[in-house]
Structure 1
Amino acid sequence: MVLRESGSQVEFNCSMSVLPDGRVVFDLDAGDRTTEFKTLEFPPALETNFEDGALTFCDRSCGVLIPQNDKEFPTKVLRSYGNTGLDMPWAGVLDIKKGDGMMVLIEPWADAAMILRPDSRERYWLQPRWIASMQRWAYPRRVAYRFSPAGGYVALAKMYRDYARETGLLKTMAEKAAERPKVAWLKGGACIWGSDGLKFAREARAAGIRRGIVYDRYEPPRPFPAADIKAMTDLGFLVSEYDDLYQCEEGVTGFGRDRMEEAGVRTADGKPIAGWDGQGFIRSPSLGLRAARTYMPSLLEKHPYTARFLDETSTVDLLEDYHPNHRLDRRQDMAYRIELFRYFQKELGLVVGGEHGKAWNVPVEDYTEGMMSGPFWWGEGNKPGHLIVPKDRTYMPANFAKYGDDYKVRIPLWELVFHDCLVTTWYWGDSSDWFYETQPDVSSRKDLSNILYGTMPLLWADNKGYGWNRNRARFLETVRNVCHFHERVGFDELLTHEYLSEDRAVQRTRFSGGGVAVVNFGDEARAYEDGERTLLLAPLGFYATAPGFRQSRTIEKGNVVTRIEAKGLLTVESKERRRIGPVEVQGSLTAFEAAPGRWHLLAETQGESTVDMRELAAPAVPKRCSLVKLAADGATTKELAPDLPGCKVVLPAASGLRLFGVQMTF
């Protein structure tokens, strides 16, 4: 068929095909690709008779599931190339009750958008909008409709996963780690900003934090000394530095600087584009690699970082550049950004992270900050980009509270596609601990979301979140409850996500390696049957298992009890005195094997607590155990018992965290 766009009068050729796999495909092309035009909305939104319709997509978020008649959702046009548009070039409409659904997939996706189009009953349907490339049609476009008879948003996500595999987007973390072994260090790690470097790393390791990304001093940027970076690497931490090759200030080409007249992006009318918040200017994506080569090799010689965080590059709008010396369209912009990421991965061998993420950069990134954050965290009230610490409950924008923080709306749509391909966490202005001082329940729910999705926490070690020196026990609680499970499932495919209660408070996920997570977002205890017994999940409680691993926060005899059990690890937390295996405790106690034959005990006890070290170390049988008091960095400060009777540790009640060491002789 031939179409004529009413505004530009451009003629388009369109063919519709029904493929053997059931896809309905519309292929569009202009009769003259060089004729100027702006937009084309075609085909019309396809409608059906869903009983309980819903829309699902990732709009700079991990995914949302909103009612089809939700008129209040702020964004009605989702750009496939935009910073705050579609992270994957598709959206779905589905029937919540029956599970059947339809995916609308844009191919290619650099110059398009998805419109949420209301019908006469004010239900929203999906319609593609085609956008000019350099003011022209430029190339063929396609939209594919894929249908699923059951499975809801999970089935739609798996359809796109199949497409991602077919088109080369599905590169797994295991494959990346095979090329660069330190990628494996992301498994079980935490993303940590604002620390003092080596001192923090030593204390964190002594307290049981085995993996993580430790960032340098970002404000102002001051690289860690080479000796400190090497020491932190020896402790098992990735050491990273903030970078931004997208925008820069005027100056000699290099770190954060370039010549605007030569390197700046130009609009169609020849004007430069200012950077974020009006600062500096946007460098042409075609020149980002040139800039990186001017400083990265020498920087790494002086400061041997093992990771690099590239702000903006992976998420901000794909651009058109009309500069006469480096004209490019959005597709070329994407290609240049991919080339830049590959330089950091392939030539420099670094573990590479970026702000948020899009499907096109999954193969060339290893971790991303922002995917776990829901949409609209950038709204009025909160100032995440400026890192202004929340002072009251108004700092959480209303739309973020409704669509981003609400467990009834947010879903792991991104993770159902790419969990085994990219490690994800929160935005630094929406970190695990960002709202802790004003809304501590938000931090608890974020921990639950990390457990449920099998993702990494992001924490502030300075004064912006928990603070390592202010709320160390809470900092360690997030790491303890999230990272041990992430170590077991972090590189696995996320197979399913489901609601186990009508109010969506109880949710469950399953992972390809056998991991299962169940969380209770509600403020009341909920029963859960695990196949062997009935557990009573505590308010904001959880139950997660993987081969050789189990953790839970449940109600036992009327008391909230947290436990984590694995080889070389045991955590027990209870306000009332409880005996679990080799530990009897009132308060919190974590025992972990810090080195062969050497255990650390991290305790905050309200009553006398005991640990049977022989039972804990089984099947090994130590002949003798000695107990010492440890400083925060793990150094011995006092010998307490050179030969523990029966290898049993007895700890008196005491306020505050205390660290002990037990050396076993076999």
Structure 2
Amino acid sequence: MITKTMHENDNVILLENGGTKIFLDKKSLSVRVETENVSWETVSGAASFAVGYEHADRFLISLNQAENKQFSPIDSGFLQGVRIQLGPFSSNGKIIGVQADVAVLLNTHSGELVFEVHGISGGTENEVSEVIWPGSFAFSGDREIDYTVVPAMQGYLIPANWQKPIRRYHKGLMFDRDAYMPWWGQVKEGNGYLAIIDTPNDARLTVEHVPCVHTHAEVVWIHSLERFDYTRKLRVRFAKDMNYVGMAKMYRQYVRSLGKLRTLAEKQLRNPKLSELMGSAVVHTSVHTRIAPESYYFDKEHPEKNDFAVPFEERALQLAALQEKYAGKLYVHIDGWGRNGYDNLHPDVLPPSPKGGGWEGMRKLQEVCRDQHILLALHDNYRDFYYDADSYSPELTIKHRNGEQEFCDYWAGGAHSWLCTTLSKGYLERNHDKLNENGIYPDGVYIDVFAVVPGDECYDPRHRMTRTECMTYRASCFEEIRSRGMIISSEEPTDWAVPYLDLVHHAPYALYPGPGEGPAIGIPTPLFSLVYHDAIVVPWSLDRGAWGIPETDLGLLHGLLNAGVPYLPIQPSDNEIPIVKTMARLHQLIGSLEMTNHEFMDGSWRKQRTTFADGTIVEVDLDGDRYTIQMADGELISEAAVHL
């Protein structure tokens, strides 16, 4: 409850609940939280808004520069706090006619602190692109035991004394590689907070670590189609004896409370075919490659490399040979099966590649996979819209606020824009009906980039679309695939998509300069697996320094630590088979179980242990290239030096 509101000539508003006190400085708008054991205070002047858009000159104005500030109480019965109405603002002698409406609230039942942005209005509303509220908590120090928790890709920790700078400030939107999940946290003196972005679709998580100076982490609220017309909300939970595992488990419970924690066991009830995926080795292969002259990948020195095919029937023979050699479950992902091959002509990819063998060759591949009990999945794409696609029209593309459309010619098919997601499901239904009409019934479909690229916005008045609507349209495509009895996958397991996906391409670690190569950013930590291990199947590459694997580490050790499924080449070496079988067996046994704990076993951060719901323990030594798997029943599966 609000126990004291100071007079107008005083500078502080106090909220108090039990042992927690919240102080709002009316002049600076900074917030100080005092718990029984530690205090946290937001950086003075950090709360601000940005005038100007992404491709124009922008400037930040601190919220504390408001000419007028009005404070009024809010009391909902369990949320009590202060509404703060601000504006206009003065910047370099110029009056900016923006009115900002924010709030700081205390949940008197749970002790949770809530920050809200209710709206931005005024004569320059359409120029405000970002709002920062409440800003970062001040955090600095030189102790390794104090750290910041960042859910970028699989996740990492930044010890307070980390000597390498980390600058990802105001970069990726939520649900890209900068933040698979919409939360972060910090720990000092054994106490910490977990911040959950309750309305993440139009937000960024930004992190900056300057050695010996500070580690800042904050949410940045961004406009949606030039507007801030719904309440943005950040929830902050403070606790003693907090650590990164506790944060992940708190967030997991939060997801469960929203009804969005759909486990693999639940997904198998809707699609029993998913049980065949558990414990599989994933084979990623291709049929036809054609590279357009304008593509980044075009090889001028070796033109024969720009258009070649390995026919469906040849791939079928290779898979039959692989199954004889491996003698285990296989899930095969086929690229380049469309008319012009991989990353070409989307979304008008039919009929299948003539160079690969057309419909007859594709049916032969399907027949062999069924005979060999191999799951067959097809790569697909309903975002890239190629200029040489049969139905290409600029009227169907996503438009920016200035009316222009995106252009890219990096990928194999050359020039393309983005298909507006409002149209994606219609194309998907058409294509898969045509596949079925011609006797092709895949076991799974991979929809490229839908779960790694943040939600798109479209300003075209004929198919206007917010980021939230975009994600809803993408989810409808995933659900269409599931409704046809197929396994559904996409690129990476961004949080919003996990309820709809069975499988992803990978979920590795954030690297610098990245996104997939280089040394690790901070201390790689399986935050995502701690939340979602039992909700989605994640394949792992085996090689040292593979995509998303720190350059010094063996991918298979991280794969074992996370109890994922292994990748397997279509023509593997003999020494790859045993470790692939070990990882596959581990996943078969515990792939649908929660990861209950993760530990660093020594001060080097290089020896790690994970524990799963049945008591299985996996230990890895990343420097010694060793692993131990202790099953719940006492069986020691393996203890070996690894040589690939």
Q: Same fold (TM over 0.5)?
A: yes
Residue 491 (structure 2) pairs with residue 355 (structure 1): yes
Residue 110 (structure 2) pairs with residue 21 (structure 1): yes
1:259 is matched with which residue? 392
Deviations 1:29-67 (A, max 9, x none): 1264993221111113223677432222222x2111122
For residues 134 and 229 of structure 2, the distance between their equivalents in structure 1, rounded to whole angstroms, comes to 19
For residues 620 and 423 of structure 2, the distance between their equivalents in structure 1, rounded to whole angstroms, comes to 46
The amino acid of 1:207's aligned partner reads K
> Counterparts in 2 of 1:611-622, with a 5 A limit?
none
Backbone CA RMSD of aligned residues: 3.1
Select 2:158's aligned residue among 57, 61, 66. 66
The amino acid of 1:242's aligned partner reads H
Deviations 1:426-447 (A, max 9, x none): 4xxxx434858x9999697211
CA shift, 1:516, in A, is 1.4
2:244 is matched with which residue? 153
For residues 110 and 539 of structure 2, the distance between their equivalents in structure 1, rounded to whole angstroms, comes to 35
Could you say if the C-alpha distance between residues 21 and 103 of structure 1 is closer, same or farther in structure 2, counting changes exceeding 3 Å?
same
Select 1:214's aligned residue among 315, 332, 355. 332
Decide whether the 8 Å contact of 2:151 with 2:181 is kept in 1.
yes
Residue 636 (structure 2) pairs with residue 550 (structure 1): yes
Select 1:511's aligned residue among 592, 596, 612. 612
Residue 588 (structure 2) pairs with residue 487 (structure 1): yes
1:55 is matched with which residue? 148
- 3-state DSSP class of the match of 2:631? strand
For residues 608 and 182 of structure 2, the distance between their equivalents in structure 1, rounded to whole angstroms, comes to 27
For residues 487 and 141 of structure 1, the distance between their equivalents in structure 2, rounded to whole angstroms, comes to 41
Decide whether the 8 Å contact of 1:80 with 1:89 is kept in 2.
no
2:387 is matched with which residue? 250
Could you say if the C-alpha distance between residues 421 and 78 of structure 1 is closer, same or farther in structure 2, counting changes exceeding 3 Å?
farther
Select 1:304's aligned residue among 436, 441, 457. 441
Count the aligned residue pairs. Answer: 500
The amino acid of 2:193's aligned partner reads M
For residues 439 and 419 of structure 1, the distance between their equivalents in structure 2, rounded to whole angstroms, comes to 18
- 3-state DSSP class of the match of 1:193? strand
For residues 408 and 514 of structure 2, the distance between their equivalents in structure 1, rounded to whole angstroms, comes to 17
For residues 335 and 200 of structure 2, the distance between their equivalents in structure 1, rounded to whole angstroms, comes to 37
1:237 is matched with which residue? 374
Decide whether the 8 Å contact of 2:320 with 2:368 is kept in 1.
no
2:277 is matched with which residue? 186
1:664 is matched with which residue? none
For residues 514 and 235 of structure 1, the distance between their equivalents in structure 2, rounded to whole angstroms, comes to 34
The amino acid of 1:292's aligned partner reads L
The amino acid of 1:474's aligned partner reads N
CA shift, 1:472, in A, is 1.7
Could you say if the C-alpha distance between residues 74 and 212 of structure 1 is closer, same or farther in structure 2, counting changes exceeding 3 Å?
farther
For residues 435 and 120 of structure 1, the distance between their equivalents in structure 2, rounded to whole angstroms, comes to 26
Could you say if the C-alpha distance between residues 300 and 439 of structure 1 is closer, same or farther in structure 2, counting changes exceeding 3 Å?
closer
Instruction: Point out the more displaced range, 217-226 or 322-331.
Output: 217-226
- 3-state DSSP class of the match of 1:207? helix
For residues 270 and 610 of structure 2, the distance between their equivalents in structure 1, rounded to whole angstroms, comes to 29
- 3-state DSSP class of the match of 1:138? coil
- 3-state DSSP class of the match of 1:314? coil
Residue 477 (structure 2) pairs with residue 340 (structure 1): yes
The amino acid of 1:447's aligned partner reads L
1:200 is matched with which residue? 318
Residue 211 (structure 2) pairs with residue 131 (structure 1): no
CA shift, 1:234, in A, is 4.3
1:392 is matched with which residue? none
Deviations 1:185-214 (A, max 9, x none): 221112211275433333333334422321
Decide whether the 8 Å contact of 1:246 with 1:282 is kept in 2.
yes
Could you say if the C-alpha distance between residues 21 and 84 of structure 1 is closer, same or farther in structure 2, counting changes exceeding 3 Å?
same
Percent identity of equivalent pairs: 21
Could you tell me which runs of 5 or more consecutive residues in structure 2 were left unpaired when the two chains were aligned. 1-83, 287-313, 343-352
For residues 548 and 496 of structure 2, the distance between their equivalents in structure 1, rounded to whole angstroms, comes to 35
2:362 is matched with which residue? 225
Decide whether the 8 Å contact of 2:397 with 2:420 is kept in 1.
yes
- 3-state DSSP class of the match of 1:401? coil
1:417 is matched with which residue? 531
1:94 is matched with which residue? 187
1:540 is matched with which residue? 626
2:349 is matched with which residue? none
Instruction: Point out the more displaced range, 114-123 or 210-219.
Output: 114-123
1:498 is matched with which residue? 599
- 3-state DSSP class of the match of 1:332? helix
1:447 is matched with which residue? 556
> Counterparts in 2 of 1:268-307, with a 5 A limit?
268-275=401-408, 277=410, 279-301=415-437, 302-307=439-444
CA shift, 1:74, in A, is 3.6
Could you say if the C-alpha distance between residues 279 and 474 of structure 1 is closer, same or farther in structure 2, counting changes exceeding 3 Å?
farther
CA shift, 1:513, in A, is 2.6
CA shift, 1:418, in A, is 0.6
> Counterparts in 2 of 1:647-666, with a 5 A limit?
none
CA shift, 1:482, in A, is 1.2
Could you say if the C-alpha distance between residues 28 and 439 of structure 1 is closer, same or farther in structure 2, counting changes exceeding 3 Å?
closer
Select 1:84's aligned residue among 174, 177, 194. 177
2:506 is matched with which residue? 370
For residues 330 and 616 of structure 2, the distance between their equivalents in structure 1, rounded to whole angstroms, comes to 21
2:137 is matched with which residue? 46
The amino acid of 2:537's aligned partner reads V
- 3-state DSSP class of the match of 2:535? coil
Residue 253 (structure 2) pairs with residue 143 (structure 1): no
Deviations 1:231-264 (A, max 9, x none): 3234332101111111121356xxxx64232210
Decide whether the 8 Å contact of 1:117 with 1:127 is kept in 2.
no
CA shift, 1:121, in A, is 5.4
1:458 is matched with which residue? 567
